[in-house]
Amino acid sequence: MEEIQALNLPIDIIATSHGCIWRDNPLQIVEKYYEWSQNYQEDQITIVYDTMWEGTKQLAHKISSEIAELSPQTRVKIYNISKADKNDIMTEVFKSKAIALGSPTVGGSILSSVGGWLDFLKELRFKEEKKAAVFGCYGWSGEGTKVLREKLTDAGFSVVEDEAKCLWNPREEDFERAAGIAKALCE
């Protein structure tokens, strides 16, 4: 980008092989890409989860309300992977300084919706390391949070130690762990 700008060429149009064609002030998108490629980060934390019986959803909402209390200036966004557009969630994750990711344990692993989204996350290879935390409910073996932790680490995230691993539906001590996640992400 720097090399092209240094050439000072009169650029009328940018037409990539996929995506939009920029005709009106085409350099505006070059400037935006430049900004996004330079340690771009907003004061935002995004919480992403899926659930079957809403236990993991309750943990997600506790993390959200706790962040709002601890750090009122931080924008908090919360998404159910099965209900929101995956690209929209990814845009919000890109803008965020930290994320929390939740899935119940299913079949000794995580929900396929969350697994598929994690593959997408890894493909994007975000340049800057972001903080992440994991949470989720389980019934007996409880591999979910471990799988989330491994996959997030593999995708380049720095996963904090605090996690909320909750047997069946969340109780008081599980909500306290969710609050611990919020604190670790705000630090």
Instruction: Give me the residues that bind ligand FMN (CB under 6 A), please.
Output: 51-56, 104-108, 137-142, 168
> What's the min distance (Å) between Cβ of 13 and ligand FMN?
49
Question: Is 130 or 133 the residue whose CB approaches ligand FMN more closely?
Answer: 133
Question: Is 102 or 130 the residue whose CB approaches ligand FMN more closely?
Answer: 102
Neighbours of 140 (CB within 10 A): 8
Cα atoms found within 13 Å of the Cα of residue 41, Cβ hemisphere only: 14
Tokens 């998108």, residue located: 29
> What's the min distance (Å) between Cβ of 86 and ligand FMN?
19
Neighbours of 59 (CB within 10 A): 28
> What's the min distance (Å) between Cβ of 64 and ligand FMN?
15
Q: What dihedral do alpha carbons 60, 62, 63, 64 form, nearest 10°?
A: 90
Contacts of 30 (CB under 8 A, 6+ apart): 1, 4, 5, 14
Question: Is 94 or 135 the residue whose CB approaches ligand FMN more closely?
Answer: 135
> What's the min distance (Å) between Cβ of 174 and ligand FMN?
11
Question: Is 108 or 128 the residue whose CB approaches ligand FMN more closely?
Answer: 108
